[in-house]
């Protein structure tokens, strides 16, 4: 099978699973944004996805992402670990940041971002920062700072299920954290959760943005 047909067939299968999971949860598919995670894959794959109607792309590493974002039009999402010295570049090619978890990084974004960004705060579900994410205590301060920004928009929360925790359990916890969060930040109603291994569970628990790589593009 050529690469186009391979990606088309994987994508169709994923879209069918999304539709089923949404229906099971009594949700409309339109509430769910599929972000194709193109990290480590070439710009030619992003181009194929674009021809197949995908317009949201997710990346983890600035150096890998910048040239792809320059060559394929779309909404570009950054979801990787943030390094201060990369923020100038990250904020130049990305439209949405999913992995903000430190105040010092937001302060840099406020100073140097060349355009306005949509921002998800990443929350850690197990208190450890190994896979990124602020503690629920720190989250409030960070969200308040973004909420006070005149340029950038706080859109919601993002999380990754901790290793060794059942996805349904992790995303139930996330859903509770998000509901409590929305009492203070009612406009931050988006929830970025779910990857290839657990997106159906994430949809069941309210995810509005799912980030899928390997199920569409193959193993890395
Ligand atoms: C790599 C990655 C994904 C996509 O993972 P797959 O298992 O390939 O679908 C989603 N979110 C984050 C934060 C990632 O690092």
Question: Does the CB atom of residue 213 touch ligand 1 within 6 A?
Answer: yes
Structure tokens, 158 = 């993002």
| Residue among 105, 195, 193, 191 nearest 145 (CA) | 105
Counting ligand 1 atoms within 8 A of each CB, the residue from 37, 54, 60, 202 with the most, and so the one to mutate, is 37
| Residue among 109, 70, 56, 110 nearest 86 (CA) | 109
The reported pLDDT for the residue numbered 70 is 98
Cβ pair 103, 119 in contact under 8 A? no
Which atom of ligand 1 is least distant from the CA of 217? 8
Q: pLDDT category, 1, cuts 50, 70, 90? A: confident
Residue identifier of the C-alpha nearest atom 13 of ligand 1: 79
Rounded (to 5) percent helix, strand, coil in the chain: 45, 15, 35
Residues 175-211: pLDDT tens digits? 999 999 999 999 999 999 999 999 999 999 999 999 9
Cβ pair 218, 39 in contact under 8 A? no
Angle between helix 167-184 and 136-147 (nearest 10): 40
- Distance (Å, whole) CA 162 – CA 166: 8
Structure tokens, 121 = 């705060």
* Ligand 1 centroid to residue 70 C-alpha, Å: 21
* Ligand 1 centroid to residue 211 C-alpha, Å: 6
* Ligand 1 centroid to residue 61 C-alpha, Å: 12
DSSP labels, 36-79:
EE-TTS-HHHHHHHHHTT--EEEES-HHHHHHHHHHS-SEEEE-
Residue 162 per-residue DSSP state = P
Across the range 163-168, mean pLDDT stands at: 95
- Distance (Å, whole) CA 80 – CA 78: 6
Whose tokens are 């503690």? That residue is 135
Q: pLDDT category, 131, cuts 50, 70, 90? A: confident
* Ligand 1 centroid to residue 150 C-alpha, Å: 30
The reported pLDDT for the residue numbered 93 is 98
Residues 4-53: pLDDT tens digits? 999 999 999 999 999 999 999 999 999 999 999 999 999 999 999 999 99
Neighbours of 213 (CB within 10 A): 21
Is residue 136 pLDDT above 80, yes or no? yes
Domains of the chain by start residue, with CATH: 3-216 (3.20.20.10)
Q: Considering the entire predicted model, what is its pTM?
A: 0.97
Is residue 56 pLDDT above 80, yes or no? yes
Mean pLDDT (the chain, rounded): 97
Burial of 89 (0-12, 13-18, 19+ CB in 10 A): middle
């Amino acid at each position: 099978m050529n690469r186009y047909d391979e990606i088309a067939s994987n994508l169709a299968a994923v879209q069918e699973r999304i539709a089923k999971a949404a229906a099971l949860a009594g949700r409309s598919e339109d509430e769910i944004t599929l972000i194709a995670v193109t990290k480590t894959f070439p710009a030619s794959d992003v181009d194929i996805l674009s021809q197949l109607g995908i317009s949201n792309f997710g990346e983890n590493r600035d150096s890998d992402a910048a040239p792809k974002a320059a060559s394929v039009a779309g909404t570009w999402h950054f979801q990787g670990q943030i390094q201060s010295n990369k923020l100038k570049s990250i904020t130049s090619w990305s439209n949405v940041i999913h992995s903000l978890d430190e105040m010092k990084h937001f302060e840099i974004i406020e100073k140097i971002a060349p355009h306005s960004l949509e921002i998800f705060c990443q929350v850690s579900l197990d208190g450890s920062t190994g896979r990124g994410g602020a503690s629920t205590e720190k989250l409030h301060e960070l969200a308040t700072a973004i909420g006070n920004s005149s340029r950038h928009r706080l859109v919601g929360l993002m999380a990754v299920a901790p290793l060794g925790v059942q996805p349904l359990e992790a995303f139930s916890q996330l859903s509770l954290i998000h509901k409590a969060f929305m009492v203070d930040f009612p406009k931050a109603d988006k929830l970025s959760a779910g990857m290839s291994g657990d997106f159906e569970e994430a949809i069941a628990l309210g995810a509005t943005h799912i980030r899928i790589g390997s199920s569409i593009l193959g193993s890395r």
